[in-house]
Chain A
Amino acid sequence: MQKNGLHRLSRIARRHYKCLLLMKLTALVVLISCLQVSAEGFGQEVKLTLNMKEVTVGKVLKVIEQKTTYRFVYADNFFPAHLKVSVDVKEMAVSIILQQILQKTGFTFSRIDEDLIVITSLVKATQQFEIRGVVRASSGQALEGVTVGLQNSTIQTATNSRGEFNISVPEENGTLVFSYVGYVTRTMAILKDAEMKIVLEENIRDLNEVVVVGYGTKTRREVTSAITRVNADQFNKGNISNVAQLLQGKVAGLSVSRPGGDPNAEFTLRLRGLSTLGTNAQPLVVIDNQIGADLNTVDPNDIKTIDVLKDGSAAAIYGTRGSAGVIIITTKSGITGTPVIAYNVSGTMEKAGRFTSHMNANEYRQLKLGNDYGASTDWNKEISRNAFSHVHNLSLSGGVKGTSYNTSINYRNNEGVALNTGNQQFNGRLNLIQKALNDKLVLNINLNATRRKSQFGNSAAFKWATIYNPTAPVYSSDTRYNIAGGGFFENQGILDYFNPVAALVQNSNNGETKKFNFSGSAEYEIVSGLKFLVRYAQQTSSFNGYSYSPRTALSGGGFQKRGLANKRDDESFNQLYENTLTFRSKLNKLDIDVLAGYSYQDFLNQGFQVGAGDFLTDASSENINSALDFRNGLATTSSYKNASRLIGFFGRLNLNYNNLAFFQASLRREGSSMLGKNNQWGYFPAVSAGLDISQVIDIPTINNLKIRGSFGITGALPPSPYLSLERLTNQGGSYYAGNGVYLQTYATFVNPNPDLKWERKEEIDLGLDFALFDSRLSGSFDYYSRRTKDLIFNLTVPSPPNLNPTTWKNIGEIKNNGIELSLSYDFIKKKDLIWTSSVNYATYNITLSKLDESLKDSYVGASSLGSPGFSGLQVTRAIPGERIGTLWGIKYIGLKSDSTYLFDDGTGKPTDFSKAKEMVLGNGLPDFEFGWNNTLRYKNFDLNLFFRGSIGHQLINTYRAFYETPKLTGYNPVNTKFFNPALKDGKKFSSLEVENASFVKLDNATIGYNFPLASTTAGRAFKSIRIYFTGQNLFTITNYTGVDPEVRYTDVNDNGSINLLAPGVDRRETWVYTRAFTVGLNFLF
């Protein structure tokens, strides 16, 4: 039975303490040179009654460990086998007992911390040099219990709770070895006259590493489902504006994508592809036990670890929200000991990497497509800039007895490469842990506040820069062109065509996001091993948006409306209340871990928007009430407020037989108010098991080999509340009631469906974790097969007979299977030179296996190419029985002799447009994705190169579909290798604009240097200083002719809603792809 002492060793680390020492210290005779070789009492200490005869010393120590909080450090075969002792004491202090039993054995003991006792040999206690130092993790946390040994000798000690050690060695030219569970062992030459500072890197492959699972933790060894842990040191570096960016390419099966370099754009996340048509196609995010948290409420600097739960079994404990996987973020917490202060600063220069290629002014003149205004303007250059961003992070962590804390403040200022875009964010976090009642009560408080100011700009500026007449000047005072009086050159005669510089410079489009999260929990150990926890958390997120187009701006409508302002206010709030009861026990060799819990979560979203124009002066724009539109009934407003509730009961059983076989079963019963009355509650079961084969079969090259299998059911909720109800809406505006009076009209618009239920995903995962050749090669392999049934869909139903044209229904089924492989290999593992290379690889095969009969030939998942000219043209669709992501249209074959198009008639024969047959032109989802990371460390230098690629996806290059033709009057045509000046036909969309967009890019390259501080003056003030340089997006290998070949996982419908079934459309509003260079400094005080 383990006890929760105050000392800093984690439970798991303690359990394996001897295991560690066994590995490290076998056959060593331990010498110690501690502060005191003491036989004195420990002061206030526990008294024991013991009666044992002729037992090994180890046995006695074990009993003492069981009865007290003391822990002993020694090797298993440290005591000679013949050495037996007897003890018979009543209510005697431990120190006295120890003295008794160690008498005449040639051993002594010393307490190096509160309750950590090292047993040492009295032999050869001749020491000449006293070396001292401190060991920390890369995060700056002091590490307690690190074994510090002199290389090629038996001399050894361990660090105390402040990470400090003292060791006496016989000669001054030796090397010390530092080893610690879960960390990479390091060696370092002795520094005689200075305090040695050692930083240990966490070893992710270690089986004893603790990973976070739903409502608890497990060691890596015990994990029986597909869970990937990413530690802070593995995060992507450089210009990171979003937490999702940290994970890009790091986890097999997790796709993270944000095409273009818009600093305000969100990333799209997909775990094992699309598994739902419901609300959470993005994985569920849990931050410090707050379920459904917002990734952006945590600053990347504050994150300690990210655990990604990939399979259905791991996610099932999260019930109706687990279908798209779960990302669990754990922030840094404090450690008892000297306070650690860290300051990180970085600055980034970012520039546009690649613009949509078009004609320059001279080429445009030759094409005679529009008026020659005499200038030569590079519009791309005019709207962009070299953007400078900087990030500051100051954190303080530490703790005193019973209390630990971690607090940080962050400031980020990101500039976008487009004029007038960027954001400034301030974020503060406090994590506080307080123990009381003999450590039986643990109180935990997390507070986090964020305020971000954003300048969104207008992404259409990139489109207009591509197509605007390059012979037009940016500015003009000529009244024919200075139409709006703003001093800019404008032309009103062409659709969707504005001076892009004016669009960015004249208009403002800003917003402020405020987020406040609070989480508090209390855990009480009722009896040994049985803990009850209560948690309350709330998250508030609000957005205030404000945009204004002044009276002199043609784009944005300011000129026509005599100033046009828009204000919006959105707030989302949710509160979570949870209880859990956990019980841990051990029956012989069987570790049992049981969890039961209850969860209640309320969600509330509300907001409104006001748009109004007609201002007397731009100066009063922030006073929207001064807009005349209000007096004239022309102002627009909208508002919303909706709520939902989730209630869950859950339980889990974990069994671990002797670290050999593992079993887990869990069940959640959950209900959601968003579902139909008849189907509000559901069950989400999961089972998984694993077997560590390396424990059974002893093959020297195999260090670890575990097979595991799992099955789990998860759910997905509808995209918004109330969908099962028959609702009325103020439809079609007003209704004339005579005499100039207009009444509001109300009508139902959706049929009720009391049977609406959650989407149900069943998933099987078979996995293999392995470490070979002294753990130089390690990795894991997963095969999964999942099926999501009862897909939630807003189905078009026949009306008549239905009174309303749509019903939210459960129809259809998605199937997906794939493999995921992660491999890591230490190519070089020498004292001064380390080269580790790791690769992850994932495939998908997502098919829409079933769909309601009534949708058979319909354009489900259709996305239209858009205006102008292609607004009715559907270019994507989801076809039952086929892979999701289908790009749809007619197939280009060539040009006729008169330079008009020839298309495929469906049989491969050329025909003209009117007889061309629509067919599958490609797929917007990749066949596989991979990340390849290389870390090199040479003395104090480190180099990291990270490559990332997606292979096999196509993109519809909409820039080319709209503008790559010599026949478009006024617009500057797009000019790629496909541009054909001879083309005589009108622009049509076909396979000609569907391009292979496979790519490999050098995503991130970082070179860093750690200053050896001990011998410098600076070393007195700093614990460590690191400088690094990072380049992002340094090069991309692709055949794609657009600006960014990144996968587009979703598209946006005309009404602004997300279209999950329409990947593969590269929209004209995509920002340019950018390249960034960062220099950063990390200080540890």
Chain B
Amino acid sequence: MLLSTIIKSAFSGVLLLAVSCTKLDEDKLLYDQVTTKNFYRTDAELASAVGGAYAPIYSYSNFYFILSETTADEMVVPQRGSAWYDNGKWVRYSDHTYTRTSNNTDGEINDAWTWAFGGVAGCNKTLLALSNSNSPAALTYVSELKALRAIYYYWLLDLYGNVPIVTDFTNTQPPATKTRKEVYDFVEKELLDNINALPKTGPADGPNYGRVNYYTAMAALAKLYLNAGVFTGTPQWQKASDACNMIINSGLYSLTPTYLDNFKRNNTGSSEFIWAIPYDGTKAGGFSLHANTLHGLSAQTYTLVGGAWNGFSAVQEFYQSYIDPVQNPGIQGTVIGLDPKGTPTTGTLDNRLTNFLVGPQYAADGVTRLIDGAAEASDPDGQPLTFTPYINMIQPDCWAQAGARISKWQFYPGMNYNLDNDMAIFRYADILLMKAECTARLTGNWNEGTVLTTVNNIRVKHGGSGLVPLTSLTAASFLMERSREMAFESVKRQDMIRFGYFNASRRFNSADPSTHVNIFPIPEVQINANPNLTQNPGY
């Protein structure tokens, strides 16, 4: 049986062939994946890894912004029926009633932690990759990444105070909490150690725009020293002032001719930007304030691509601080009033009122009133869409049309889900005001000449010549003026804590029984993941 012999041999053949194949090496089965084994080889790959360390910056407007603004007296997210209820987290932010366990649902408290430590880890892993690289280009990034890491730690210092510090990237033992003072010292040392290796470029210097340069690190140092009293118990007003001076005296920065220049759609390279996030609607997304603040019908005003969710609103009293002639003296004109209907009334005309979107809303033609068929029967101005600065309640049934909307970053027709506008993290006007504050603190005189001059310079240049320069200042009125300038720029929580106003009662919110809320709880999931972490006191 020749045939059967052939078949038998053939069968034995395939059997042997088959049994010999036992290879399971996954590296040989890679298609759409990049692993560390096949990366960090070219300078372009190293540059992209540096970019990876910057990637979390684009989420700044989600986490640091929200935690800094909703806990302060500028921004509120009222519960409108079931919308924006989110298990009460927005009200807890306003009311400072977040607890150690609520962070499972108070998303931003944990999200900001993973965001900032994600930035730290991004720097760490890039530093590790650079240290393994033979490319000369690798060395040029080291100081920049260390300074960037220090800034991520500065935000952690600000939000949580006591956090672990890791600089050995190969040790995977869960690190223990460091005190706020230790974190402060680390940030200071890292910034000082690396600052001189950074380029002294200004805002117009294209190649370094959006990256940490000498002045970025200096601005971070200024912020660190400005809040040193809060962070460590020992104020460092002089050091803060000196750091501000380094920036001011560089001559690279100047106030923009108009306030809006800093916030318009094409604000890249604004002369006030010490460090800005170079957002782009298509290439570098992450900034979508318009979607969070605008009403669904606003899609027709701005021919929005994507929806709008009718959430973030300005605190009524904050809006009031612009139009009230006592708080903000200046030429009076027609502004939207504070009554429940948003009736036009007389108030101060401040150019910086562009921070708010109020009043009747129109379709893209600018003529057709938008009609909100879902308006509450109890809303006094009825169905035509009108953003009233008046907020009837923050829970549970805030009117859908209540609340001035946050339009500081100029809206434009055809807005994508992501805005094109860049967002300043450190802005020159802020540095000037910080310097003025330091002077006042150091002299103990809020009416010291340079303080008044600085404040009024900015006030008139940005608020308009119709504004009356302030003739005298107190800590309270200084902060008020600073806030009108710096509205919604993620500084208010820090400022209120520094000025001692954070725990006071506000409309809808009672006073905090304890100052432990001035830093957030360490997220429970992080403590569970790393038992060496210590919960912040009071939680």
Contacts and interface: CB of A to CB of B under 8 A. Distances in A.
Contacts of B359: none
Contacts, number: 333
B87 interface: yes
Given A469-B373, A644-B29, A747-B122, A579 B15 contact: yes
Contacts of B205: 738
Contact of A803 (B11, B44, B59, B124): B124
B530 to A, nearest CB: 3
A600 B22 CA distance: 8
Interface string A733-763: 1111111101111111000100000000000
A779 B173 CA distance: 57
Nearest to B4: A437
B86 A494 contact: no
A800 B117 contact: yes
A801 B529 contact: no
Chain A CB within 10 A, most for which of B54, B87, B210? B87
Contact of A742 (B82, B280, B530, B531): B280
Given A799-B121, A802-B172, A986-B85, A634 B416 contact: yes
A970 interface: yes
A577 interface: yes
A742 B53 contact: no
Nearest to B169: A803
B166 A733 contact: no
A672 B24 contact: yes
Interface in B163-204: 164-166, 168-169, 171-175
Given A534-B11, A735-B48, A746 B34 contact: yes
B432 interface: no
A941 interface: no
Contact of B283 (A561, A645, A647, A742): A742
A571 to B, nearest CB: 13
A738 B51 contact: no
Interface string B32-59: 1111100100001101111111111011
B55 A732 contact: yes
Contacts of A856: 528
Interface in B255-300: 268, 278, 280, 282-286, 295-297, 299-300
A854 B525 CA distance: 8
B213 to A, nearest CB: 11
B81 A967 contact: yes
A856 B86 CA distance: 24
B87 A733 contact: no
Given A492-B296, A803-B125, A868-B84, A745 B54 contact: yes
Contacts of B117: 799-800, 805
A362 to B, nearest CB: 17
B29 A645 contact: yes
A606 B31 CA distance: 9
Contacts of B307: 495
A722 B525 contact: no
A988 B286 CA distance: 30
Contacts of A721: 26, 29
A869 B83 contact: yes
A560 B54 contact: no
A472 B169 CA distance: 62
A722 B26 contact: yes
A1069 to B, nearest CB: 17
A526 B44 CA distance: 62
Interface string A492-509: 111101000000000000
Contacts of B105: 872-874
A733 B24 contact: no
A944 B81 CA distance: 50
Contacts of A67: none
A731 interface: yes
Interface stretch (B323-331, B375-383, B436-444): B375-383
Interface stretch (A53-61, A176-184, A366-374, A902-910): A366-374
A641 B303 CA distance: 37
A520 to B, nearest CB: 13
A855 B528 contact: yes
B85 A987 contact: yes
B309 A803 contact: no
A644 B28 CA distance: 10
Interface residues of A, number: 116
A798 interface: yes
A739 B207 contact: yes
A673 B52 contact: no
Interface centre among B59, B104, B280, B400 (most CB of A within 10 A): B104
Contacts of A967: 81, 396-397
A731 B297 CA distance: 33
A524 B11 contact: yes
Nearest to A635: B282
A728 to B, nearest CB: 4
A725 interface: yes
Given A440-B4, A735-B48, A803-B125, A639 B32 contact: yes
A929 to B, nearest CB: 33
B278 A579 contact: no
A632 interface: yes
B79 interface: yes
Contacts of A873: 86-87, 105
Contacts of A674: 26
Q: How large is the interface on B (under 10, 10 to 19, 20 to 34, 35 or more residues)?
A: 35 or more
A541 B84 CA distance: 42
A680 B24 contact: yes
Contacts of A532: 11, 15
A985 B107 contact: no
Given A492-B297, A738-B210, A874-B105, A745 B285 contact: no
A724 B299 CA distance: 45
A494 B296 contact: yes
A895 interface: no
Interface string A855-877: 11111000000001111111000
A369 B82 CA distance: 14
Interface in B301-346: 303-307, 309-310
Interface in B343-381: 370-377
Given A798-B174, A805-B118, A855-B528, A968 B81 contact: yes
A913 interface: yes
Contacts of B27: 725
A466 to B, nearest CB: 14
A1076 B284 CA distance: 51
Contact of B172 (A437, A647, A801, A970): A801
Contacts of A493: 295-297, 370-375, 385, 400
B32 A641 contact: yes
A743 B47 contact: yes
Contacts of B164: 800
A1020 interface: no
Given A801-B171, A855-B528, A987 B207 contact: no
Of all A-B residue pairs in the complex, the 10 with the closest CB atoms, nearest first, are: A986-B396, A970-B374, A735-B51, A732-B55, A747-B52, A745-B51, A798-B530, A800-B166, A738-B207, A869-B82
22 contacts: A370-B374, A561-B305, A613-B305, A641-B31, A672-B24, A677-B26, A732-B55, A734-B283, A735-B48, A736-B54, A747-B55, A747-B122, A799-B114, A801-B172, A853-B528, A855-B529, A857-B528, A859-B525, A868-B309, A913-B88, A967-B396, A989-B87
Given A803-B121, A854-B529, 14 more contacts: A437-B4, A492-B299, A560-B304, A598-B19, A643-B29, A727-B34, A738-B207, A738-B208, A746-B49, A801-B175, A858-B104, A868-B84, A969-B400, A986-B397
Interface of A: 368-371, 373, 437, 440-441, 469, 472, 480, 483, 491-495, 497, 522, 524, 526, 532, 534, 557, 560-561, 577, 579, 581, 598, 600, 606, 613, 632-634, 639-645, 647, 649, 671-674, 677, 680, 721-722, 724-729, 731-740, 742-748, 752, 796-805, 853-859, 868-874, 913-914, 962-963, 965, 967-971, 985-989
